[in-house]
């Protein structure tokens, strides 16, 4: 039990700290890296809750795709972050006020929230029969919801085709690598051996 508590405080503390660093870091690349750290720690919190599927999804989707996308954008777009940061102190009071109001609202909402009396959860936690929730989700997804699963797959396929149709263009004058051509190259295609009489100087 004590290990779990310690792990919780470790993950939670790191999540909050790295989330703070996301907005505090001077270098935007560091911000994105701290964001990844926050995601990974949040995944750890999910594992502690027994939601290992959500933890995996968080790592795969947010760390693997979204954060890397951010990183690409930050690196490819030449945004002057120093300029964006100007005037932070000027807007700090109003920004802080908005944040405070939101915080108070959140406290009120969560504070008075109770489940309606008499409601019972649809599925017991943990699930019956000792199966993990990944397995339970997989069983549902590939049996009862197989139609939706396949339909979603078709939608993603069309999205991929669309992205290629709208953006891929074959440009002239681009040197492309042709591996088969490279492999098929023989020495005689490129090297010519000439006998040079000594003393004539080529």
The yes or no reply on residue 131 touching other proteins (CB under 8 A) is: yes
CB burial of residue 8 (10 Å; 0-12, 13-18, 19+): middle
| Positions 18 through 57 that interact with other proteins (CB under 8 A) | none
The yes or no reply on residue 146 touching other proteins (CB under 8 A) is: yes
From 10-18, 29-37, 94-102, 139-147, give the range in contact with other proteins by CB under 8 A: 139-147
* Number of residues counted as binding other proteins (CB under 8 A): 22
The yes or no reply on residue 137 touching other proteins (CB under 8 A) is: no
Q: Which of 3, 165, 179, 191 binds other proteins (CB under 8 A)?
A: 165
The answer to whether the peptide bond before residue 121 is cis (omega within 30 degrees of 0) is no
The yes or no reply on residue 157 touching other proteins (CB under 8 A) is: yes
The whole-angstrom separation of Cα 27 and Cα 122 is: 47
Q: Where are the alpha helices (DSSP H) in 25-145?
A: 28-49, 52-57, 68-76, 81-85, 88-112, 133-142
Q: Which of 111, 129, 173, 201 binds other proteins (CB under 8 A)?
A: 129
User: 57, 37, 45, 39: which is closest to 10 by C-alpha?
Assistant: 45
Q: Which residues bind other proteins (CB under 8 A)?
A: 129, 131, 136, 139, 143-144, 146-148, 150-152, 154-155, 157-159, 161-162, 164-166
């Amino acid at each position: 039990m004590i290990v779990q508590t310690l792990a919780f405080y470790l993950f939670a503390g790191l999540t909050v700290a790295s989330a703070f660093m996301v907005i505090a870091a001077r270098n935007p690349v560091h911000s994105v890296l701290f964001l990844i750290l926050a995601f990974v720690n949040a995944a750890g919190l999910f594992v502690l809750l027994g939601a290992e599927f959500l933890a995996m999804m968080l790592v795969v989707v947010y760390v693997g795709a979204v954060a890397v996308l951010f990183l690409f954008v930050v690196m490819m777009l030449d945004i002057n972050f120093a300029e964006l940061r100007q005037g932070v102190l000027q807007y700090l009071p109003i920004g802080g006020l908005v944040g405070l109001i939101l915080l108070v609202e959140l406290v009120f909402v969560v504070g008075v929230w109770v489940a309606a009396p008499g409601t019972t959860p649809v599925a017991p936690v943990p699930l019956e029969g000792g199966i993990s929730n990944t397995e339970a989700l997989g069983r549902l997804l590939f049996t009862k919801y197989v139609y939706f699963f396949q339909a979603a797959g078709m939608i993603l396929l069309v999205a991929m085709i669309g992205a290629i149709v709208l953006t891929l263009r074959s440009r002239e004058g681009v040197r492309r690598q042709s591996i088969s051509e490279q492999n098929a190259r023989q020495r005689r295609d490129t090297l010519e051996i000439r006998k040079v009489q000594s003393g004539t100087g080529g």
